[in-house]
Structure 1
Amino acid sequence: MTEPYEYVPHRLLRKRVRDIASGTEGELMAVINENVSDTGIEHWTELAYIRGATGREFTTAVENVQSA
């Protein structure tokens, strides 16, 4: 990959979801496969971007996302 990230399709995009790790609910805005390495060795992970009730977005592992 040449970019440090890539958008990934997800069935819950733009739907109300819950982050099971924190219990926070919001709208799933994007799922992005990101290189999260800070050592120079690539480490890719899929992160879910959720917009909470305050309008602020937060990230969680995509495996933590479930329909609300």
Structure 2
Amino acid sequence: MSDRYEYLPHRLLRRRVRDIASGVEGELMAVVNENVSSAGVERWMELAYIRAASGREFTTSVANVEPA
């Protein structure tokens, strides 16, 4: 199992975005190809890290990110 995470370019990096799943807005800080498996089988997913107004970051699928 590989622990290599890959930062990916995204057109909305450092811009204000909205997570359509939760409706929360914030700044897109990073997009990472990350292993999200909890078992022995690898499952890689592109996750967006968004910093909300509170200063806390949360993740969501890149497909859920839209400009705010």
Asked if these proteins are the same fold (TM beyond 0.5), I'd say: yes
- Alpha-carbon offset, residue 2 of structure 1: 4.2
AA paired with 1:45? M
2:34 counterpart residue number: 34
AA paired with 1:58? F
Q: How high is the sequence identity, in percent, across the aligned residues?
A: 74
AA paired with 2:43? H
Number of residues of Structure 1 aligned to a counterpart in Structure 2: 68
Taking structure 2 as the reference length, what is the TM-score of the superposition?
Answer: 0.93
Q: Deviations over 1:18-42 (max 9, x none)?
A: 0000000000000000011111111
Structure 2: 5+ residue runs without aligned partners?
none
Taking structure 1 as the reference length, what is the TM-score of the superposition?
Answer: 0.93
AA paired with 2:21? A
Say whether 1:63 aligns with 2:28. Answer: no
CA distance in 2, matches of 1:61, 1:31: 9
Structure 1 runs, 4 residues or longer, greater than 4 Å off:
none
Q: Cα RMSD (Å) of the superposition? A: 1.3
